[in-house]
Structure 1
């Protein structure tokens, strides 16, 4: 037979359920507000990076003196440094580069009124050491005309793992486009 929790016994079943629902709703609202800065990012490209999961210990929970704005500025600056390094690396590349087979791209669905066109770019590092990848993604229309070209940098792609970033184009917004990898170079 199930015994009610001490909280339910003290408050009564309905009151505990209402309290639990209210607390859960407050956590969701607070989390959503913290994640949504509402400010558009400048430029034609914005990217996010994900790395396939790797077992590790959880970081300790300590308060950070940094604000959300500080964090966003730091991430934005790091992405821009990575993009500039990638653009410089691709300047001397002839043809598609040495890592074209390590990279794939998928266009993401377009919703009415979107301000940019987005593609998910994945890099799988087949080597035995971490590597920097420079990737140029082109957004082309049905006739093959390049509407925009976005450069991404993948710093320290782990060996034997896949990392991904979004390539976003404001120039290709509102037009049916197809993303393709134009160049990929492993440094």
Structure 2
């Protein structure tokens, strides 16, 4: 009986070198597929990385949010506008500088002449033992002390004993040497 046996040859140097790129490519494809990657970029956020920090006993589920980035940005913007409107209303009833000027500080951020707005970093430290809403008015003034623009911020739920930061941005003070200062600050 004559059985067919495959001819076995040891892999020589040339054969091994020809197979190595093909095996490497196959390993990359298999590894990418196993990790759920597409090999390209995709809009949105990666689903393969999750950072967990200590929090309350009930944490949100790990499900993917059905909102797009644009919808999320719009909801954040709407919330900021609601807080700003609440702050404007609150400050309209305040006589003088308010009860929280000592809780708030402001620092002007460096600007380039080509920038379209002037920005200042506002820091609020809540010295109380419960979360508080802060209404803050930042004036952008020039070297002579003339107010170029006033920006109102509403900072909701500032945690007790902690400092939170937010930017105050002015288009009217852009391109002009100006200095930010706290005009009013009220805690409620």
TM-score > 0.5 by shorter chain: yes
Counterpart position of 2:92: 91
Shift of 1:30: 4.9
Provide the TM-score with structure 2 as the length reference.
0.71
Aligned to 2:48: none
Query: Which is bigger in relative contact order (C-alpha 8 A, separation at least 6)?
Result: 1
- Write the mapping of 1:66-81 to structure 2, written as runs, cut at 5 A: 66-81=67-82
In structure 2, C-alpha distance between the alignment counterparts of 1:59 and 1:176, rounded to whole Å: 46
Moved more, 147-156 or 62-71: 62-71
What displacement does 1:120 show?
0.4
SS in 1 for 2:134: strand
> What is the root-mean-square deviation of aligned Cα atoms in Å?
2.8
CA distances 1:27-49 after superposition (whole Å, capped 9, x unpaired)? 9x959x759xxxxxxxxxxxxxx
Unpaired stretches in structure 2, ≥5 consecutive residues: 1-22, 33-37, 46-52
The C-alpha deviation readout for 1:134-185, integer Å capped at 9, x for no partner, is 0000000011000000000010111001111100000000001000000000
Tell me, yes or no, if the aligned pair for 2:118 and 2:169 is still in contact at 8 Å.
yes
Gaps of at least 5 residues in structure 1 are: 1-9, 21-25, 36-53
Match of 2:163? 162
Moved over 6 A (4+): none
The structural deviation recorded for 1:112 is: 2.9
SS in 1 for 2:70: helix
Q: Tell me the TM-score normalised to structure 1 length.
A: 0.71
Distance of aligned partners of 1:97 and 1:87 in 2 relative to their CA distance in 1, 3 Å threshold = same
Larger-Rg structure: 2
Instruction: Judge which range, 57-66 or 87-96, deviates more.
Output: 57-66
- Kindly tell me the number of residue pairs found equivalent between the two proteins: 150
Tell me the secondary structure at the aligned position of residue 76 of structure 2. helix
